[in-house]
Amino acid sequence: MKRALLAFGLLLLATPSHADPYRWCAEYGGAFGGGGTNCYFRTLSQCRQAVSGVGGFCRPNQFYTGERRGRR
């Protein structure tokens, strides 16, 4: 009973999660497939500068929730 009340109380205090506001992710290469990911880039140019010289590529952040821009 006490655990159920505690769980209910925690649910009342829970706040909604927020998705990532950054548009671009850098996928870094690594030996034997052990690279890393960094999704803290607002522009494609920032992302490309981060992977320049170290290897990797940029991809859109699948969790981006900011402004949606259409292609022109």
Tens digits of residue pLDDT in 57-71: 999 999 898 876 655
The single-letter DSSP state of residue 64 is -
State pLDDT tens for residues 7-47.
666 666 666 656 568 999 999 986 666 789 999 999 999 99
Q: 68 lies in a domain?
A: yes
d(C-alpha 71, C-alpha 15), whole Å: 34
Considering the entire predicted model, what is its pTM? 0.62
Quote the pLDDT of residue 67. Answer: 74
| 37-41 β-sheet, strand order | 37-41, 24-28, 56-60
Alpha-helical runs (H) found in 1-72: 2-13, 44-51
Number of domains in the chain: 1
Rounded mean pLDDT of 47-52? Answer: 95
Q: Is residue 30 part of a domain?
A: yes
The verdict on residue 64 lying in a domain is yes
Instruction: Provide the domain limits for residue 65.
Output: 18-72
The answer to whether residue 24 sits within a structural domain is: yes
